[in-house]
Chains A and B, each alone.
Chain A
């Protein structure tokens, strides 16, 4: 073994082995869904690859999920359903092996999409669960998660109350305009890794998933110079019209989100549950870390273009590493 141990530490006595690495041995399978029931709503999500292009002309590869009838979206095609429904989400792994974890959804272990406690999907599998909550969630691949989520394998999961869109949850606020804005930071170097990098032999392979050094900072894959009027990062509303912002922190670096006072942001939910009370955002600033969701009602007080600024803070030093923007055009 000694010849394979050199790269980053001179004294590591052994690479991680199957004996200590419980992420190494999970099976690859395409089983039947236990207790399969008739669903109220069904989705298919197929793995695909494409490229994201940035304002500097460079592009990077990404991996994601899409409805088979979609072109090549980014982020992945959203899942949207109603509270109380029995849901089937069928993954078509298509390229390599993957899973779908519905983040914030709490199903049985078998349907949780975590390979360490269940299995990787080699061909296809239908995840079954029933939506107990309304709110904002997301889904992502949980295989080799640091790499696969960074590569873009995530998308929104929106659960409307039984009455459908227009109300955040039973007894919650109404809205007329909706924005789904997810932060996402990109380290181009990680595109050199393959699907299994990090799962085994990381030392020998030179995999460094602890070393995240993003160069692009985006909302929904759109960097700041291209964000104004992009449909992914801009919504339009009238003065006084309630806008629901479903915020998702998809970035690995912590975000500080600064709202113009004219948008009058009020937080109503987080992670699919209502706050103790609707809360005007203190100082109009939201501080958030990876995988949190916050649902805010914005009620513009003036006409104009109001820009929301997203700071991406270095995870160790807290310094601003980059910014992204999204916009509300108010008439």
Chain B
């Protein structure tokens, strides 16, 4: 871990230069490598902004402006910044791109948000903020040329996960207070006691949804500002990947051992973040999921659904129980594979039309 610099020197920046980087380590949603806990209530981290190139599933190379946890390695999406409630977060941001780039996190109930002024090309600045007071999932965005929408369209985004203080991150009660008391489903086959929501989480995934139009991206990377009239996206990405690549990415797909009928297996918390312009309508085959949080429709929190809306610019968390597929006959819970996808079907395509090379991944019962 490098020592934190309060004043980033011009010499350091010149060493990194204004080079164009090819994105490395695309896939999944890795924890931000530069983040360290300096004390019980302080997290220090560094983010490096630069121009890069990313390769779509059909081989098309598209420019983007994004973040890296080191100057030499851009990441798509940006590393997942994990903090605890109420932490003081110090972010040293180095802007090696040729555009002014700020840093923003949208406000939400109990959190006033972050909206740091643009950092001029070739300079750096420390951004300090206080983490939200309640656990939850957020995302940061580089406001490129003064526009958060431009930063989202260019891929300058990453997750921020706020974890409970002094409590296990595997605890549903700690992360989503009150949800277990609300959770409800019907008796299976109409008889007996309905299965309960699991009390703990065996594994987590973060799905950061993004959209990309290559022509728009080229214009934006050159300095244009995004417009509401920009054309339809041609690529629809989960954690920067799509189609077979997001289906096979171990950090994105859900893979684990299933329980029996109504019995949880490797229960998986999925934090879904929508950085696109369109809403997502995420549908999981093979299992319903418990809605743990929803920004627009709080009355579905605690419901057991198979499709959920993720509004633009917002996040939704769900818990997939990994129980035996309840309608299978004969009942089976091993060696099964299901798709998960955006049901707003345009988003299942890539390259302007190929299905299913868009926003898809898998649920794999080992």
Contacts and interface: CB of A to CB of B under 8 A. Distances in A.
B306 A271 contact: yes
Interface string B334-359: 00111100011111111111111100
A8 to B, nearest CB: 5
Contact of B337 (A20, A23, A117): A117
A210 B303 contact: no
A292 to B, nearest CB: 5
Contact of A203 (B243, B336, B344, B351): B351
Given A12-B59, A209-B345, A271-B307, A129 B329 contact: yes
Given A13-B60, A210-B352, A290-B281, A276 B338 contact: no
B169 interface: no
Interface stretch (A92-100, A145-153, A223-231, A299-307): A145-153
Interface string A11-24: 11111100011110
Nearest to A101: B285
Interface string B167-185: 0000000000000001111
Given A106-B326, A210-B233, A271-B306, A199 B355 contact: yes
A288 interface: yes
A275 interface: yes
Given A20-B243, A134-B190, A290-B345, A254 B356 contact: no
A198 B308 CA distance: 25
Given A12-B60, A106-B286, A254 B299 contact: no
Contact of B325 (A108, A134, A162, A199): A108
Counting contact residues on chain A (CB < 8 A from B), the size range is 35 or more
Nearest to B278: A315
A169 interface: yes
B60 A273 contact: no
Contacts of B326: 106, 132-133
B283 interface: yes
Contacts of A16: 57-58, 350-351, 354, 357
Interface residues of B, number: 78
Contacts of A35: 329-330
Contacts of B190: 83-84, 134, 161-162, 169-170
B257 interface: no
Contact of B59 (A14, A112, A267, A270): A14
Interface in A191-212: 197-200, 202-203, 205, 207-212
B314 to A, nearest CB: 13
B148 interface: no
Nearest to B179: A276
A320 interface: no
Nearest to B345: A146
B238 interface: no
A91 to B, nearest CB: 17
Given A108-B328, A146-B349, A271-B307, A287 B355 contact: no
A9 B214 CA distance: 8
A19 B258 CA distance: 30
What are the 6 A-B residue pairs with the smallest beta carbon separation, nearest first? A202-B353, A146-B345, A289-B281, A207-B353, A132-B326, A130-B329
Interface of A: 7-9, 11-16, 20-23, 35, 37, 83-84, 86, 101-109, 111-112, 114, 116-117, 128-135, 144-147, 149-150, 161-162, 169-172, 197-200, 202-203, 205, 207-212, 249, 252, 254, 267, 270-277, 279, 282, 287-292, 315-317
19 contacts: A15-B58, A16-B58, A22-B356, A104-B306, A131-B327, A146-B345, A169-B190, A171-B187, A198-B355, A209-B349, A210-B346, A211-B346, A272-B288, A272-B306, A274-B186, A275-B299, A289-B279, A315-B279, A317-B277
Interface of B: 57-61, 182-191, 214-215, 228, 232-234, 236, 243-245, 247, 261, 277-281, 283, 285-288, 296-297, 299-309, 325-330, 332, 336-339, 343-357, 360, 362
Given A131-B189, A270-B303, A275-B303, 17 more contacts: A9-B214, A12-B59, A13-B60, A21-B243, A22-B356, A106-B285, A109-B286, A116-B356, A117-B337, A133-B326, A149-B345, A203-B351, A207-B352, A273-B184, A275-B302, A277-B184, A315-B344
